[in-house]
Amino acid sequence: MKAVIDALARHEEFLIIGHVNPDGDALGSAVALARGLTALGRRAVCAVDDVLPERLAFLAEIFPVESFASCPAPGKDCCIVAVDCGDLGRLGQFQESFSRAACSVVIDHHATNTGFGMVSEVRVCGATGQIILELLERMGAPIDAPTADALYTALSTDTGNFTYNNTDEAILAALARLRGYGADIPRLGDRLFRRRTLGATRLIGRALERLEMHASGKIALMTLLLSDFAELRASKEESEDLVNFGREIDSVEIAIFLRQIGPEEYKVSLRSQEYADVASIACTLEGGGHKHAAGCTARGSLAEVKAMLVERARALL
């Protein structure tokens, strides 16, 4: 942590980047860090090379989130910080800017992190937001209620609202501190975990129609095609949590969700219940993540991709 604090102290201008297909931890962490640095008198821009999911759009009201197209070019002395990114590819079109930066910092909680920054704070824990909270506290940055809301979003979404096995004493202590800083837990809990759009609801039905069970019910696989999103008038962001519907089946150890992103290309989300290390599958396909939650991209026909993933999942049982 000291190396990151020292690197941040040497700069006045920052570009804070979250990963493509942004989730609550990436966006909440980036927004909170940008807001904290601004409160310390620095200049900060927050950006992500993707569209913000509708349920997380409120984070851009806490601190503006730029797209790649709208993001101002970083100055030559700008420090670029990647949050919640396990590898350079997760930065999307910001890869080149990050690689050329005078100072590049990585703050992440993925065990599969490739160590791609000049300075890194990579710690396996419940959420990257947990590290950002400690960083802001150690830097003496004022943490107001909106910043606490952003960090609560980071912590709660990556822990399944504090129900996954990455929920430990340390993250619950962080949650208590955020409540003390003014995080509106009842409002955010309702917004994040008890509401969904009509498009998301329609996608659940379509994915469940295609549910496949393998290995005597220990593997669940669901698929959505590009045509589904057009037909159901839904966006890709509305499918973010669908993999959990497979994971929640009582016999399932490994859940696999495929979202078509091209003619023979699929975004793969992997989850496990107790013992299977699904990150080991993701890493063989140039992806990454955690033991119980990982992702990657697979190429081939739908039948080939399904067969390959089910075979690799079987090997973990």
Q: Residues 217-233: what's their mean pLDDT?
A: 97
Mean pLDDT of the chain: 96
Do residue 171 and residue 229 come from a single domain? no
Do residue 260 and residue 176 come from a single domain? no
Do residue 105 and residue 128 come from a single domain? yes
Does pLDDT of 165 surpass 90?
no
What are the pLDDT digits (tens) for 80-135? 999 999 999 999 999 999 999 999 999 999 988 999 999 999 999 999 999 999 99
What CATH number is attached to the domain comprising 113? Answer: 3.90.1640.10
Do residue 30 and residue 150 come from a single domain? yes
Q: Which residue among 142, 164, 193 closes a domain?
A: 193
Residue 40 domain boundaries: 2-193
% of the chain at pLDDT higher than 90: 93
Do residue 61 and residue 134 come from a single domain? yes
Do residue 82 and residue 229 come from a single domain? no
Do residue 165 and residue 284 come from a single domain? no
Kind of pairing between the strands at 13-17 and 293-299:
unpaired
pTM: 0.88
What CATH number is attached to the domain comprising 212? Answer: 3.10.310.30
Q: How far is CA 76 from CA 11, 39, 143, 197, in A?
A: 11, 22, 29, 42
Do residue 170 and residue 87 come from a single domain? yes
Do residue 184 and residue 212 come from a single domain? no
pLDDT at residue number 237: 87
Kind of pairing between the strands at 254-262 and 265-272:
antiparallel
What are the pLDDT digits (tens) for 16-51? 999 999 999 999 999 999 999 999 999 999 999 999
Does pLDDT of 54 surpass 90?
no
- State the chain's maximal CA–CA distance in angstroms: 58
Q: Residues 297-310: what's their mean pLDDT?
A: 98
Domain count, the chain: 2
SS3 165: coil
What are the pLDDT digits (tens) for 176-187? 999 999 999 999
Do residue 28 and residue 171 come from a single domain? yes
Total Cβ atoms within 10 A of residue 175: 22
Q: Which residue among 193, 217, 235 closes a domain?
A: 193
